[in-house]
Amino acid sequence: MTNRFDGISLGIGLSLLAAGANAQPGTLGFSPKDSRWIEDKASHCWAANPTPEEGETISWTGGCQSNLLSGEGTLTWYLNGKVSGRDVGEFKNGELTGHGRIFFADGASFEGEFPGQGVLTAPDGRKVRAQSVKERAGWSIEQITSN
């Protein structure tokens, strides 16, 4: 899971996301041999992982349906044993959907709909209206500009 805060916009290679994700059984096809899926070793439940990184692991507290994250829960992302992000909300088919929150290790966060509108909070506390957009490589969070 990666993020970069550029003034106002935040690019998320998720869960996830998460946290943070793009992978769905109907889209990418769930397979434990596919690197775009990552397993919580404790629950044996899988999450979409469109941008896998060496040393990345997860922990999941929530339901599991057909071996995929399902229902309300918290997905915590680790990189080399350190928390790199957290996705909280409703999950379906191994990915965040509906209302949720994504938190990053640097203090940035997004709360809103997946996909849809919400609020992006910068590490310095600035808040802007933003939207989550589902892309091939996961969720991107983009500032909503007024015309």
Cα(64)–Cα(140) distance, integer angstroms: 25
Of 89, 95, 134, 135, nearest to 109 (Cα)?
89
Extract the tokens encoding 128: 């802007």
Domain assignments of the chain as residue spans, ordered by start? 2-143
Q: Per-residue pLDDT for 133 more than 70?
A: yes
Question: Tell me, what's the pLDDT at 35?
Answer: 86
pLDDT in tens, 17-68: 333 333 333 345 688 888 889 999 999 999 999 889 999 999 999 999 999 9
Cα(53)–Cα(91) distance, integer angstroms: 22
Cα(78)–Cα(36) distance, integer angstroms: 16
Cα(74)–Cα(87) distance, integer angstroms: 6
Question: Tell me, what's the pLDDT at 88?
Answer: 98
With H, G, I as helix, E, B as strand and everything else as coil, classify residue 13.
Answer: strand
Q: How many other C-beta atoms are found inside a 10 Å radius of the C-beta of residue 47?
A: 28
Q: Per-residue pLDDT for 10 more than 70?
A: no
Its pTM stands at 0.79
